[in-house]
Amino acid sequence: MDDKVIVIFKRRASEQGIDIEIPKDITAAELIYGLNQGLHLGINIDDPIHAYMRSENPIALIRGDVTIEKLGIRNGSVIIMGE
């Protein structure tokens, strides 16, 4: 069984995305922190109200200490930062 997934990351739902490979065993908070640092997104990770993302396929709110695998994120899922 593969321990990584390839997802499409978009800053906004209307924008074109980029493919990102992420491990299934990281938490949502770790994913947000890593994307924020790596892509310079400007998310205030100290403010939990703004430190979240959402996904499509499956529809999920990405935040907190739940793992990507438990959220159901899989190959081809779309992760959206805003809007």
What is the domain count for the chain?
Answer: 1
d(CA 8, CA 22): 10
Which residues span the domain enclosing 20? 4-82
Q: Is the pLDDT of residue 72 over 80?
A: yes
Percent of the chain whose pLDDT exceeds 90: 82
**Tokens 């922190």, residue located:** 33
Q: What is the mean pLDDT of residues 25-37?
A: 96
Whether residue 6 contacts residue 19, with contact meaning beta carbons closer than 8 Å, is answered with yes
Residue 68 maps to which CATH number?
3.10.20.90
Tell me: the pLDDT tens digits for 39-52? 999 999 888 888 99
* Predicted pLDDT at 47: 86
**pLDDT grade, residue 13 (50/70/90)?**
confident
Listed in sequence order, the DSSP H helices in the chain are 28-39, 68-71
Whether residue 16 contacts residue 10, with contact meaning beta carbons closer than 8 Å, is answered with yes
